[in-house]
Amino acid sequence: MNLRGLSSIPGLLLIIIMMATVFSCSSEVNAPHISSNDSLMLAGLREQSMECENIDEAVGYAKKELELAKSLHSGVNEVNVLLYMFSLYYDHGKNEEALSCATQASQIADSINDKPLLAKSYWFLGVVLSRFKNNPIAAKNFAQAFSLYLEMNDMPNVVNAWRDLIPAYLNANLFDSARSVCDRCLEMDSIMHNDRGVVESTALYGTYNLAKFRSNAVDPDYIQLDSAHTMLRKAEIMNRRINDPKTRKILYMGLTETFYNLSFKETDPKRRRELADSGRIYLPEACIIANNTGVAEVIHRINIIGVKIHYLAGDMKATKRFVDSLVVVANKKNTYIDRETACRAQSLYSAYRNDFDSAFAYRVLAEKNREVINYSDNSFLLSVQLAKSQTDEERNSAKSREGELMDETKRQKSIIMYTVLGVTLLLGAGIMLFRSFRKTKQLNEKINAINEEMRVQSEEIRVKNDEIMDGISYASIIQFAAMPSVAEMKHTFGDCLVYLSARNVVSGDFYWASEDVSGRYKLLAVGDCTGHGVPGALLSMLGMSILDYTTRHFGVGEISAGIVLDKMRNNFKRTLNQTSFSTDKTVDSIDIVLLVFDTQDKTLHYAAAFRPLLIFRFGEMMRMKADSMPIGIYPREKPHFTDNVMKLCKGDIVYLYSDGMTDQDGYEDAAAQYPRAYSSKQFFKLLKNNFQRPFSEQEVIIRESREEWRRPKSDKQMECELTDDATIIGVAVNNFIKFDDL
């Protein structure tokens, strides 16, 4: 054996020991150290938060705990605090805040490579995204959670996440998938002897049957309702021993709706009241749970069931108290969903008392608030916004992580440099530098890949947004092309006023004009359709088409404006298959005023559906009333619209307008704390002061007056958005009818 080779072994061992010392020092510096005092402070803040009854106070302590965890550079504690804050926000319906917490938790858990916390973060993301009905992204996060739990062989959490997937399937009407998951969860819970899981899965099975029953309102399957009742009552009995809060929430919501539907189908009055009284036992808690979801559909459904179940129980006083409580909540919170629910409840109560005028009026107010909810909570646009929000957060997180990695790299290099200088092990320093460089290079490549993926996603979102806006813009071109141009209006009526302001690019208002071949009869109309934006624009196109069809053969002997509206109403109802009126469904209709000018007899024939007519004669304004029924189905409609006939005078000026001219919110002066609607009184005063001006000047004055009304008058006020489409058409009869000079 070579003795020289043996003599080199101690030196090699010394180098290996020194290198191990270097790695040990590096890992000790990088690993955050949490002292026992810091752990006690974190635990104390959590305990104070959990003892709070007010969510704002609880979140306040949780935020202090999060700041402390950040100062300690403890990623695990940061994630745990964020997931705790998620639960606080989620349980109180603050879904956007819950989404933000779960997103941050997933990013931090991924950066520290903590698989259990990362799986839990993905799971919570799937749960909250289901409330937004953002099913594709929710499914993606659930799948990531399942994958990680299976990789860790954590079957209890796999089953728990499966159970939370069931409501997501029900929201998307994927009933077969929901039932399959229910069966699988019950099977796995039984195998694992998980009593709490068996009870919750049984309750969810009842919820599945109830959701399937609810999905078919036209031909309900009462077998599904009976199955839901059986499964929910079974789960209720089982939960008396376990007393699981999560299952109790499912049961209160499900049993309230189940007993209502059972009482609704019951024909025996006594049995109906008994079932309704059973449902009323669970109702108060169900309303609290529904309101804490923050989901408009759930809040509306449970609270409206509350109104109906009190009525089915034959307790009108309780019905009135419940409706009044919804009105108080709406006035206090001042949110669209609470106002829509309160108006719908008042409409039902008015209908129960046979006050159909009030029922219809409240129904219209409810629909207006529902339109705002639908517009602001449009499923496709919301998906795009959420995806963009997550992309922006991931991009910012990646930049932050890149900065942290650069700082970490510098710190590691400093440690290596000082260690190498201290022990003079150039070989060890070279190896450390090589490994650090390789790790940094890999991390940089990963960051670049993430940035590229986010850039591609951002571009896809931008393209989708552009496609949507291009489509709506092109639709507006088509819509306005269907209306008479200003030049065509002036050709028919001479100089005139034409003003149309759409709230959302396309309009639910329209104006229409026509004349017979001889030129004797000139027709003019202004219509205001249910809704605005794309739904309103579709109805306006239908209204103009029906008007064209109805007046195609207009001529001598058919100058009755009332007959034209009668025919228009019949064609409209037939086209939309309107056969019966219901306060529980949106009823499409058109408010319209139609004028027929007889230029030979110098008379005006007009008929009006909910829209008045203004005439200025000899300097005085006359407001001609309309019939109180629209074009469309109506509970108290009359057989025919009134055909009004009046003689025209030289100098008459006629105005037609939609209700958007008076409904616009704004500020009267700098002292106003809250905006209010531009009243009819102000609108009439504006016309009285300016009707003698040229129509071109009137158009400028009207437009500037509306803009000035919306504009804030002080720094404490905010500019009011457009609340509705607005249209006004004005004609002077002298411009197209010749009067003999006296």
Give the tokens for residue 194. Answer: 């998980």
Question: 434-457: per-residue pLDDT in tens?
Answer: 787 788 888 888 888 888 888 888
CA distance 150 to 147: 5
pTM over 0.85: no
The structural domain count of the chain equals: 5
The answer to whether position 3 is within a domain reads no
- Strands 665-666 and 676-677 turn out to be antiparallel
The sheet carrying 603-609 orders its strands as 509-515, 521-529, 590-598, 603-609, 644-647
The number of CA neighbours under 13 Å toward the Cβ of 323 is 22
Q: Cβ–Cβ contacts within 10 Å for residue 314, how many?
A: 14
Residue 173 and residue 149 share a domain? no
Residue 652 and residue 504 share a domain? yes
Question: Of 478, 506, 526, which closes a domain?
Answer: 478
37 and 68 in contact (C-beta within 8 Å)? no
Residue 360 and residue 401 share a domain? no
Residue 621 and residue 596 share a domain? yes
Question: Of 107, 123, 153, which closes a domain?
Answer: 153
Residue 504 and residue 462 share a domain? no
CA angle 260, 129, 89 (to 5 degrees): 80
The CATH number given to whatever domain includes residue 145 is 1.25.40.10
The answer to whether position 192 is within a domain reads yes
Residue 54 and residue 124 share a domain? yes
The answer to whether position 675 is within a domain reads no
The answer to whether position 459 is within a domain reads yes
Q: Cβ–Cβ contacts within 10 Å for residue 191, how many?
A: 10
Residue 191 and residue 56 share a domain? no
Range of the domain at 333: 315-377
Residue 731 and residue 593 share a domain? yes
Residue 431 and residue 393 share a domain? yes
Length of the chain: 742
107 and 393 in contact (C-beta within 8 Å)? yes
249 and 217 in contact (C-beta within 8 Å)? no
The rounded Cα 147 to chain-centroid distance in angstroms is 31
Give 719's DSSP letter. P
Residue 490 and residue 617 share a domain? yes
Question: 14-69: per-residue pLDDT in tens?
Answer: 444 444 444 444 433 344 567 788 888 888 888 888 888 888 899 999 898 899 88
Q: For residue 70, what are the contacts with CB-CB under 8 A and spacing of at least 6? A: 78
Give the tokens for residue 658. Answer: 């939609």
Give 733's DSSP letter. G
The answer to whether position 661 is within a domain reads no
398 and 450 in contact (C-beta within 8 Å)? yes
CA distance 488 to 653: 19
254 and 203 in contact (C-beta within 8 Å)? yes
CA distance 475 to 466: 14
87 and 102 in contact (C-beta within 8 Å)? no
pLDDT of residue 394: 53
The answer to whether position 225 is within a domain reads yes
Burial of 396 (0-12, 13-18, 19+ CB in 10 A): exposed
Residue 289 and residue 230 share a domain? yes
For 358-370, give one letter per residue: b (16+ CB within 10 A) or e. Answer: ebbebbebbbbbb
User: What is the C-alpha end-to-end distance of the chain, expressed in Å?
Assistant: 141
Burial of 408 (0-12, 13-18, 19+ CB in 10 A): middle
The DSSP string of 504-538 is BSB-SEEEEEEE-TTS-EEEEEEEEESS-HHHHHH
Task: Write down the H helix ranges in 622-673.
Answer: 660-663
Q: What separation in angstroms does the CA of 69 have from each of 52, 100, 130, 247, 396?
A: 21, 18, 30, 33, 20
The DSSP string of 282-295 is HHHHHHHHHHTT--
CA distance 325 to 320: 9
CA distance 340 to 349: 14
Question: Of 333, 352, 377, which closes a domain?
Answer: 377
Instruction: Please name the residue that has the structure tokens 């003698």.
Output: 692
The answer to whether position 34 is within a domain reads no
Residue 130 and residue 88 share a domain? yes
428 and 420 in contact (C-beta within 8 Å)? yes
The answer to whether position 4 is within a domain reads no
Residues of the chain short of pLDDT 70, as ranges, are 1-33, 134, 371-403, 405, 409, 419-420, 423, 429-430, 553-558, 582-586, 741-742
